[in-house]
Amino acid sequence: MAKFYPFKGWLVAFALATWLPLNAQQFINPIPIPPEINSDTVELQIDILDHVFNPNGADSLSQPIQCYAFNVLGDTSLTCLGPTIAWQYLHNVHTEVTNNLPHGATVHWHGAHIPVYTDGGPHQVIPPNPPNNGAAGNPWCIDFPILDKSATMWYHPHVMDHTYEQVQMGMSGMIYVEDPVDGDDDPILSQIHDTLPNEYGVNDFPVIVQTKKFIPDPNNPGGHVIDTANGYKGSDFRYVINGVVNAYMEVPANVVRLRILNGDAKWSFNLGVFENADGTSPYGFQYIAGDAGYTDSTYAMDSVIIPPGSRFEWLVDFRGQENKTFYLANGVSTIPDAIVGSGVSGGLSDSTILEIRVTAVDTPNSPISAFPIALHPKEIPDTTDQDRHRVKSFTGAGNMGDPFLIDNTPMNMGFVNDTVPLDSTEIWTIFNETRVAHPWHIHDIHFWVTEIFDTVSNSYIDPALYPELFCGPRDNVLIMPGWKMKWVGTFQDYGTAIAPDSTYMYHCHILPHEDGGMMGQFVVWNGLGVGVEEYFEDHLDAVIYPNPAQEELFLKGKSRHPSDVRIFDLQGQLLARFAYTPFDGQIKIPTERLPRGMVMVEWRTEEGKFVRRVRLD
C-alpha cells in the first residue's frame, strides 16, 4: 500500500520548503478575461481555430497553433477556451450548441444539477456540422431550470474515449452561478453578495489553470501542435493560464476574488500566492468556496492542493499593496508522490505560473474589516435517515494489463451500474485501493464529505484541519491511496426510467483514467416508464399552445384511435392523465389544478407520441 501523506503536512511543507530552481520566465502576456454571457438564452458554436499562446513572445508558441474553442454563435473571436456563462438561480435557460468540428462532441455542465438529457455526458453526442454525409447538422437544443445556488462551475467535453483529447485542444469554459440578490430567495446569499467582490473582471476574476505539451507539426515545418496522443506522458509541459503562457494579471489594491479552476486533464496543483518569485514568502489567502458553493466561514491558507476538475475560490487582500507584485505558484516538490502532479510524476517542476500586479485602480473599498467572516451555514443531509449505503472501490495498477477501474468494472455505455431511487438520501463510501490518488467526481448532485478513514495509519482524518474537504458542498474530491471517504447526498430531482441512455456518470477526473474505463453510470429512477429518448423522438405532427400557459392548454393534431395525455413535472412525477377519443383538430388539456412551473406534456396514440416542455404560469 502506498505511503499516506497528511494533507496539513503539504501546506506546511509548501510554506517552508526551499524550492528547486524555478523555471525562469518573463511575464509578458496579460491573461485574457473571457467575455461573459449573462442571458437566459445561450447559443454556442464549437470551432477549430488558430490560437497564439505566447502573443508577446518570440518563440514557437508565438506562432498560430490549432485549437478548439467555444464562441457565441456567429462569432470566432475566442480562439481557445470559451466565454464565461452566468446563470441566475431559478431562471429557466435555453441553450443551443452547434458542433463545427469534423467529429462528434459533447458539452458537459460540470457541477450542475440538471436533467440527465441535458447533462452533456457521453450519451448526448452532438453530431458534426456538416457531418460526414454532407447533410446539415442540427444544434443540440436543451432547456432546464437553474436549481443550483451560488457556485463556480465549468463546461467541457465528455465524449466516450476522447475527453482528454478534446479538453487538451481547448474546449473548456467557466460558469458563474450568481448569488441570488433577492433576499426572499436566500437572504444569507444576498448578504454574502453584498460583502464579497462580485464585479466580473474588475475584482472577481476567472483563473483557468492548465498545462499543455507542444510538439513539432509534422505537416508544417517550424510549426507546432498540441500533443493529444502522448501528452499525458513525459515532460516539457507548459503552464497555460486562461489560454496564454508567461501570464500576468492586474488587480486593484483591494480585496480580490480569484476563482481558480484546475481545468487540466491530468495534473493536481499545489497553489499559493507569494510575495517573491522564488516561492519562499507566502502571502496567503482566504478560502471561501469549493466546487459547489460557499464554505461556512473563510479559512486562512498559504496553499492548497487542487485536483483536476475542482474549483476553489479565494479572497486575497491586496489593500495597501499598490504597485507591488505577487505570484501564483505551483509547489510540485511538496506534492506527495502518490498524486499525479508530484515531482515523481515528471513533466512539471516548481514554478511561478502567474504574476499578479497590484494597481492603484480606484474601486469601492471592501466592507470586510477583518477575517474570518461567516459565510453560508452547512446544509448536510441528515445521515440518520439515509435510504442506502453504497461502497465503490478504485482498483487496478494502472498498466495496460491492469488499468485503473471502479469496482474492477470497465465503463460500458450499455450497462447501468447503479439504480438510485428518486428522492432518496444515500451514503457512499469511496475506497481507494490503488497506489495513486484519484479525484472522485459525480454528476447530477453535490455531496458533503462526512468522514475519511485512512486504512494505512488506521485513523480518521480530523475534519477541523481540512476545510477544503469538509466545510462545503463538493462534486470533485481527491482521494489518497488507502482512504475510505464517506459522503452523503440527496437525489431529489430528475427521475427517469432505468435505461442506459438515462444515466449520469461518476468517474476519476484524471481524464486519461476516465477515457481508459475508470467510470460508471447510474440512473435516478422515478418508478415510471418515461425514458430520455421519449423526450426527443416525436412521431406525431402536432402543436401545443399557448406556451407559457395559464388555466387552459390546447393540443392541435389528429388521431384515428383513442389517445391519452400525461403531464409530468421535471422530477418525473406524474401530475395528471387525460383520455381522449379519436379527433381531428383541437383538444383542451385542463391545467388549472396543476402546480405552476415547467412540465412535460406527453401525447400518446397508436400512431406514436409527441412531447413538449410547457411552462405553467
- Residue with the three cell numbers 431529489: 492
In Å, what is the CA distance from 270 to each residue of 14, 279, 303, 470? 8, 12, 6, 18
Residue bearing the bigger pLDDT, 593 or 507: 507
**pLDDT tens digits, 537-550:** 445 788 899 998 88
pLDDT of residue 6: 38
- Residue with the three cell numbers 435510504: 387
Identify whether the C-beta of residue 47 lies closer than 8 Å to the C-beta of residue 66: no
pLDDT of residue 535: 40
Relative to beta strand 418-421, strand 519-525 is: parallel
Angle at 551 between CA 422 and CA 528, to 5 degrees: 20
Helix (H, G, I), strand (E, B) or coil at 39: coil
CA gap 112, 74 in Å, rounded: 26
Give percent of the chain with pLDDT exceeding 70. Answer: 91
Identify whether the C-beta of residue 423 lies closer than 8 Å to the C-beta of residue 491: yes
Low-confidence winner among 54-58, 162-166, 374-378, 594-598 (lowest mean pLDDT) = 594-598
**pLDDT tens digits, 534-581:** 443 445 788 899 998 887 899 999 988 898 888 876 545 567 889 899
pLDDT of residue 131: 56
Relative to beta strand 247-252, strand 351-359 is: parallel
Give residue 336's identity as a one-letter amino acid code.
Answer: P
- Residue with the three cell numbers 506522458: 233
CA gap 482, 484 in Å, rounded: 7
The mean of the pLDDT values for the chain is 89
Mean pLDDT of 14-42: 74
Largest Cα–Cα distance of the chain, in whole Å? 82
- Residue with the three cell numbers 435557460: 93
Mean pLDDT of 591-615: 82
Residue 485 pLDDT class (50, 70, 90 cuts): very high
**pLDDT tens digits, 176-224:** 999 988 766 788 999 999 999 999 999 999 999 999 999 999 888 889 9
Residue 596 DSSP code: S
Identify whether the C-beta of residue 247 lies closer than 8 Å to the C-beta of residue 194: no
Adjacency order of strands within the sheet including 108-110? 36-37, 84-87, 173-177, 151-156, 108-110
Helix (H, G, I), strand (E, B) or coil at 344: helix
**pLDDT tens digits, 365-399:** 999 999 999 999 999 998 887 888 999 999 999 88
pLDDT of residue 498: 77
CA gap 167, 155 in Å, rounded: 10
Residue 271 pLDDT class (50, 70, 90 cuts): very high
Low-confidence winner among 22-36, 107-121, 133-147, 311-325 (lowest mean pLDDT) = 133-147
CA gap 233, 231 in Å, rounded: 5
Residue 187's H or E segment, with its range, is: helix 187-195
Describe the chain by its helix, strand, coil percentages, rounded to 5.
Answer: 10, 40, 50
Kindly report the number of other CB atoms within 10 A of residue 379's CB atom.
13
Peptide bond into 595 cis (omega under 30): no
Predicted TM-score (pTM) of this structure = 0.83
Residue 347 pLDDT class (50, 70, 90 cuts): confident
Low-confidence winner among 200-209, 307-316, 327-336, 567-576 (lowest mean pLDDT) = 567-576
- Residue with the three cell numbers 400557459: 549
Helix (H, G, I), strand (E, B) or coil at 192: helix
- Residue with the three cell numbers 468517474: 507
Identify whether the C-beta of residue 144 lies closer than 8 Å to the C-beta of residue 135: no
pLDDT of residue 574: 65
Is the pLDDT assigned to residue 471 strictly greater than 90? Answer: yes
Give residue 565's identity as a one-letter amino acid code.
Answer: V
Mean pLDDT of 156-163: 96
Identify whether the C-beta of residue 301 lies closer than 8 Å to the C-beta of residue 284: yes
Mean pLDDT of 272-298: 94
φ, ψ for residue 125, nearest 5 deg: -75, 130
Asked whether the CA dihedral 571, 573, 577, 583 is positive or negative, the reply is positive
pLDDT of residue 392: 97
CA gap 438, 434 in Å, rounded: 9
CA gap 291, 295 in Å, rounded: 10
Mean pLDDT of 112-129: 94
- For residue 245, the Cα-to-chain-centroid distance in whole angstroms is 23
Low-confidence winner among 146-160, 279-293, 307-321, 545-559 (lowest mean pLDDT) = 545-559
pLDDT of residue 19: 41
**pLDDT tens digits, 438-465:** 999 999 999 999 999 999 999 999 998 8
CA gap 469, 281 in Å, rounded: 25
Cell numbers describing residue 54: 505566447
**pLDDT tens digits, 385-435:** 788 899 999 999 988 789 999 999 999 998 889 989 888 999 999 999 999
Three-state secondary structure string covering 550-575: CCEEEEEEEECCCEEEEEEECCCCEE
Is the pLDDT assigned to residue 523 strictly greater than 80? Answer: yes
Peptide bond into 372 cis (omega under 30): yes
CA gap 439, 430 in Å, rounded: 11
pLDDT of residue 4: 31
Cell numbers describing residue 503: 444515466
Residue 515 pLDDT class (50, 70, 90 cuts): very high
Find, among 310, 295, 86, 309, the residue nearest to 177 by Cα.
Answer: 86
pLDDT of residue 14: 40
Kindly report the number of other CB atoms within 10 A of residue 39's CB atom.
14
Low-confidence winner among 69-78, 440-449, 586-595 (lowest mean pLDDT) = 586-595
Find, among 608, 521, 534, 609, the residue nearest to 123 by Cα.
Answer: 521
CA gap 15, 9 in Å, rounded: 10
Residue bearing the bigger pLDDT, 43 or 566: 43
pLDDT of residue 66: 97
Identify whether the C-beta of residue 166 lies closer than 8 Å to the C-beta of residue 77: no
